[in-house]
Structure 1
Amino acid sequence: MAENHTTNITAFRKKWNINIGIVIFGVVFIYLLVTVLMYLTSKHISAYEVREGSILKDNAYTGLAIRNEEVVTAGQSGYINYFVSEASKVGAKTKVYSLSPKQLEFNDTVSTDSQELTAEERDSIYLKAQSFSENYNGSSFNEVYSLRDEISSVLESKSNQSRQAQLDEMVQAGTDGLQVFNAQSDGVILYSTDGYENLTVSDVTADMLSKKKYNSVNIKNNSKVNSGEAIYKLVKDDDWSLVIPLDDKTAKNLADTKSVKVQFTKDQVKERASFQVYSAKNTNLGILTFHTSMVRYAKDRYLDIELILEDESGLKIPKSSVTKKDFYLVPENYLTQGGNSKETGVLIHNDSDDAQFKKVDVYYRDTETGMVYLDPNAFDKNTTLIKPDSTETYKLKKTKSLQGVYNINKGYAVFKQIHILCESDEYYIVESGNSYGLANYDHIALVGKDVRENDIVY
C-alpha cells in the first residue's frame, strides 16, 4: 500500500500594483467633469470692455432761412449779363450787370485743363445731390429743377472769369446798346429769387417749412429780362435766422433754452445760435439766430441742421450693464484702521462689550453728507458699530441704493458705483477718474441685473 505524501502549499493573494498614471488620469478626468458640469449648470456672465467715448445727442431738422434781403428789378428790358460772381460782396459803386438789346457773343477761350472741376467744386455738387437725394419727396418734383439750376451754376462758374473779362472789353469798346448798372447798395449779391425775401417769423407756415410750394427762379447770363422783373437780390445784414418746426414736447423742453449748438449737415460746420421758442398758429417754431456764416449759406433758403443738445465725453457703457444695489449708510468717522495693518474697517460691538475690528470695503464716499456706503452682506443683522476713541455707537439700519455696474476684472463680480453724464438709446456716458468707479479698459458684466456680488465669472 502506497504511502500518502502530504504537501504543504501556501496560497498567497496576488499583490495589487497601483498604476500612478491611471490615478492621475482619473483625478484629472473627475476635475474636468466637475468643471464642465459646473459650467453647464451655472449662469454665464457676458463681459463688456469699458472704453472712453462720447455721445452726441442731436435732433435733425430742416430750417427755413430768413435774412434781410432786397430784390432789385430791371429798369428796362434786354439781355442781362453779370460782372460779379454770385454770393460776392458788392458796394454801391460796384458794376453788377449789363443790359443789351440782343444776346452777346462770348469766345470760349478757356482751355480744357482749366475747365476741370476743383475738389471744392466737386464736393459742392456732391453735397447738393446728396442733400436732394436724402430729402426728396415725390410731391415736390419742382426741387429737381432747383437742383439742376444749382449744379449748372457751379459748372458755369468755370467760365465766369473769362466772360467777365470779355464783358469789360465790350464795354470799353462801346458795343452798341450795351449799358452797365451798379449795385443799388452794399450787400451780398444773389441771382435767384423765391418770393420769401420779405418773410418774417410771424409769416412762416407749416407749408413753408415742408417746402411743398417752394419754387426758386435762377437768372442766367445772356437771358432775356423784362422791365420790372427781378434780376438779383442783396442780403444786407450779417445777422440771419433759421426757423424750424418743433413738436409740443420739444418746445416745452426747450422753452427756457437761450442758446444751442448747431451742426450744419451740408458741411459739418458747428455754430452757436441764440434760441427762442415761438408759438405760431397750429405749430411751434424754434428760432435760431446767427451772427456769422451768412455768406457761407447765402444761396440756401433751406438748410438741414442738427441741434446738439448734449455732447459729453467719458466712459461709454451699455445700458444693460447698469443695475442698483442697496448699501448701509455709515458716518465716515466710524471708519478706522485695524491693528498694525493699514486695512480700512469698523469696530463691531459684541456680546462681551468688546470692540471687534472688521475689515470692510467702501463702495462710495459722499463728501457732502459725510456718509460712506458699506455692503450689507458683510454684516449680521442688528449689528452695532462703535466709534473709534469714543463710546458712541451706531446701529446699522439705514440703507440707500446706488446705481452701478459689476466689475469682473478679477474673475468675480464686484459692484462699482457710476455717475451718469448723458445717455443715448443704448449707451450711457459715465464719469471717469472716480476712485470708487470705473476705469478705461475695465471689464464689466454686460447684463447687470443677472449678477450678484462675488459671483464667479466663467
Structure 2
Amino acid sequence: MPDNKAHSSSTPGILAKLRKIFGLNIGTVMFGAILIYMIFSVILYLTASHMESYQVPSGPLSMNETYTGLSIMTENVVQADAGGYVTYYAREGTKINANGAVYSLNSSKAADSGSSLSKDELADIRSNMQSFSKGFDASKFNSTYSFKYQLNGSILQYAADNSSVSTTNTVNEDGEEVTTTTTTVSSDPNIRRAQTDGIILYSTDGYESKTVDTVTAADFDQNSYQETDLKTDGQVNAGDDIYTIITDERWSLLIPLSEKQAANLKDRTSIRVKFLKDDLTQTGDFSIMEIDGSKYGRIDFNKGLIRYASDRFLEIELVTNNVTGLKVPLSSIVTKEFYAIPSKYMTTDKDTQQSGFMLSGRNKKGNSTTTFINTGIYGRDEVTDEKTQKVSYIYYVDKSKFNEGDAIIDPDSGEKFVIGDTEVLEGVYCINQGYAVFRRIEILDENEEYAVVSKETYNGLVRYDRIVKNADKVSEQDILY
C-alpha cells in the first residue's frame, strides 16, 4: 500500500522549489498579465487601419503660377543739347505734358542752400528702403546698385528747387489715378521742355530701343542686367543722356514658358495678370511667340504703365485657376445611394416640430394608418416645372428609413407617392462630432489629388470642417474619438 503521507509531504517541497526558481508570487502574476496585455495592444495597434483627418480649406484647386516678365515700352532717351549743371523739375515716374519743364542747364552749380528734406520726403525714402529690403533677393544682388543710384537720385531731386513745380492727381477713364507734373517756370532759355506727352524716367538700361520683335533670350538674364541712374549734381556735357521719356501707354510683358506651360495656355487670347509688386490685377491680350527657339508668352496692355514704368523686370502671377471652393482630397470622396422624394411630401410633426414624411400603412384590422417618419435630408436638387415655371425640390433621404414600395402621403392633398426612385450622391465623412456623418459634395474641378467642391451645397461642407482623409478605412456612423 503506497505511503500517501509521504507523497503529500513531498508536494510542498516541489512548490517551494518552483517558487525559488521562478519567484512566483501575486506581483509576478500581475506583471505578467499586464505585459501580455501590452504586447497584444501594440500588435493590434500596428496591424489596425488608422483613420486620418483633414481640415477643409477654401481656395482654388492649385496655386497660380508665377513668372518674371520683361517689360517692353516705347521709350526715347533724350540727350543734353549743351553742357552745364542740371536742375530737375519733373518728378520721376510722373506723366508730363508736352512743353512741360523737365530740367534746366546752368553754367554754374546752384549754391548749396543747406536745406533739409521734409518729413514727407524722408518718409517716402524710408518706405522705398523698407520695400527694397523686404523684396531683396540675394541671387539678384546687382539690384542693390540700381537701388543705390535710385536713392541718390531721389535725394538730389528732393533737394532741387522745385518751388515752381506742381503735381495734379487725376482719375482716367479706367479708374486709375494719374499724377501729371506741370510747371510755372518763366521763359528762361535754360529750361528744357518735353517735346511730347509721356512718363519721365531718369535712368537708362540699354533696352530703350528694344521691341517685341528684336528681344533675344539673353535679354531675360537678370544677372547681367545693369541700370544707369542719370540724376547727378555734377556737370554734364552736350550729348550726355539726361532722361528717358515713355511716349505710349501701350506696353508688353514677355514671359518665358516651358513646353507644358505653353501647351496649357495655347488656346488663350486674353489673360488676367496679378502684379506682385502691388497686388493689382488687369487683363491683357495674350499670344505665344518663339524667341531663339524657345516659347514665350506675350501679354499686351493698353493701360497701367505708369505704375510699373521704372520696372524692367516684373514678378507676375497668371490668374488661370478661376474655380474656387472647398478643397478636399480625392481619397476622402465616397458614394452613397439615397431615395429621391419630391419636397411636396415633406411635413412637420405637430408635437416635436421635426421634419419628415407620413408613411401610409394598415393596422391588424386592415384599416388605413399613417406614421410620421423623421428623416434627415442629405441633399436636394432644384426642379422647375416646364408649364408653370414653379420651383420645387427633390430631397435625398437615407434608404434605411424606408423600404422600396413604401407609400408616403401628402398631408394637404392626400396624394400618395411610392418610394423607389434612387440617386447616387458623392460625399465625404464629416467627423466634427467624433463620428462619421455623410455630407454631400458637388465637384467643380479636380486634378490627380484634390477636388474643389461647391460652398453652396445644401447641408454640405463649410470651411474648417474636419473630414476623413482615407474614407476607405471608415464606415458611416463609426465612432472615431
Q: For residue 104 of structure 1, report the CA deviation from its aligned partner.
A: 0.9
Matched, 1:275 2:285: yes
When residues 115 and 377 of structure 1 are mapped into structure 2, their CA distance, relative to the original with a 3 A threshold, is closer
- Counterparts of 1:277-356 in structure 2, within 5 Å, are 277-281=287-291, 282-310=293-321, 314=325, 316-319=326-329, 322-327=332-337, 343-344=356-357
User: In structure 2, what is the Cα distance between the partners aligned to 1:421 and 1:107?
Assistant: 67
Q: What letter matches 1:145 in structure 2?
A: Y
For the 8 Å contact 2:252–2:300, the answer to whether it is kept is yes
Which consecutive unaligned segments of at least 5 residues does structure 1 have?
Answer: 1-32, 166-170, 349-353
Matched, 1:244 2:248: no
1:89-110 CA distance string (max 9 Å, x none): 3233222223345x51431331
TM-score calculated relative to the size of structure 1:
0.69
User: In structure 2, what is the Cα distance between the partners aligned to 1:83 and 1:158?
Assistant: 10
For the 8 Å contact 1:127–1:266, the answer to whether it is kept is no
For the 8 Å contact 2:80–2:241, the answer to whether it is kept is yes
Matched, 1:90 2:96: yes
Match of 1:15 in 2: none
1:151-191 CA distance string (max 9 Å, x none): 323333431346989xxxxx99x9xxx83322222211111
Matched, 1:106 2:111: yes
Match of 1:432 in 2: 455
Q: For residue 149 of structure 1, report the CA deviation from its aligned partner.
A: 1.1
Matched, 1:121 2:131: no
Match of 2:78 in 1: 72
Matched, 1:406 2:417: no
User: In structure 2, what is the Cα distance between the partners aligned to 1:321 and 1:455?
Assistant: 18
For the 8 Å contact 1:386–1:392, the answer to whether it is kept is yes
For the 8 Å contact 1:66–1:240, the answer to whether it is kept is yes
When residues 117 and 277 of structure 1 are mapped into structure 2, their CA distance, relative to the original with a 3 A threshold, is same
User: In structure 2, what is the Cα distance between the partners aligned to 1:43 and 1:219?
Assistant: 70
Matched position secondary structure for 2:150: helix
Q: For residue 400 of structure 1, report the CA deviation from its aligned partner.
A: 4.5
For the 8 Å contact 2:87–2:161, the answer to whether it is kept is no
When residues 441 and 182 of structure 1 are mapped into structure 2, their CA distance, relative to the original with a 3 A threshold, is closer
For the 8 Å contact 2:75–2:208, the answer to whether it is kept is yes
- Counterparts of 1:148-187 in structure 2, within 5 Å, are 148-161=148-161, 179-187=190-198
User: In structure 2, what is the Cα distance between the partners aligned to 1:233 and 1:202?
Assistant: 21
Q: For residue 145 of structure 1, report the CA deviation from its aligned partner.
A: 2.4
TM-score calculated relative to the size of structure 2:
0.66
Q: For residue 207 of structure 1, report the CA deviation from its aligned partner.
A: 2.1
When residues 450 and 317 of structure 1 are mapped into structure 2, their CA distance, relative to the original with a 3 A threshold, is farther
Match of 2:471 in 1: 448
User: In structure 2, what is the Cα distance between the partners aligned to 1:336 and 1:218?
Assistant: 77
For the 8 Å contact 2:440–2:457, the answer to whether it is kept is no
1:85-140 CA distance string (max 9 Å, x none): 22233233222223345x514313313x7378543332222223443x22624xxx
Q: For residue 406 of structure 1, report the CA deviation from its aligned partner.
A: 0.8
User: In structure 2, what is the Cα distance between the partners aligned to 1:267 and 1:297?
Assistant: 10
For the 8 Å contact 2:339–2:399, the answer to whether it is kept is no
When residues 92 and 436 of structure 1 are mapped into structure 2, their CA distance, relative to the original with a 3 A threshold, is closer
Matched position secondary structure for 1:153: helix
Matched position secondary structure for 2:321: strand
Match of 2:16 in 1: none
User: In structure 1, what is the Cα distance between the partners aligned to 2:348 and 2:94?
Assistant: 78
Q: For residue 394 of structure 1, report the CA deviation from its aligned partner.
A: 8.8
When residues 156 and 213 of structure 1 are mapped into structure 2, their CA distance, relative to the original with a 3 A threshold, is same
Match of 1:18 in 2: none
For the 8 Å contact 1:338–1:345, the answer to whether it is kept is no
User: In structure 2, what is the Cα distance between the partners aligned to 1:320 and 1:336?
Assistant: 33
When residues 446 and 359 of structure 1 are mapped into structure 2, their CA distance, relative to the original with a 3 A threshold, is same
Query: Percent of pairs identical after alignment?
Result: 31
Match of 2:275 in 1: 264
User: In structure 2, what is the Cα distance between the partners aligned to 1:328 and 1:322?
Assistant: 19
1:202-250 CA distance string (max 9 Å, x none): 2223222232432222212234444333321211122222222222222
When residues 297 and 342 of structure 1 are mapped into structure 2, their CA distance, relative to the original with a 3 A threshold, is closer
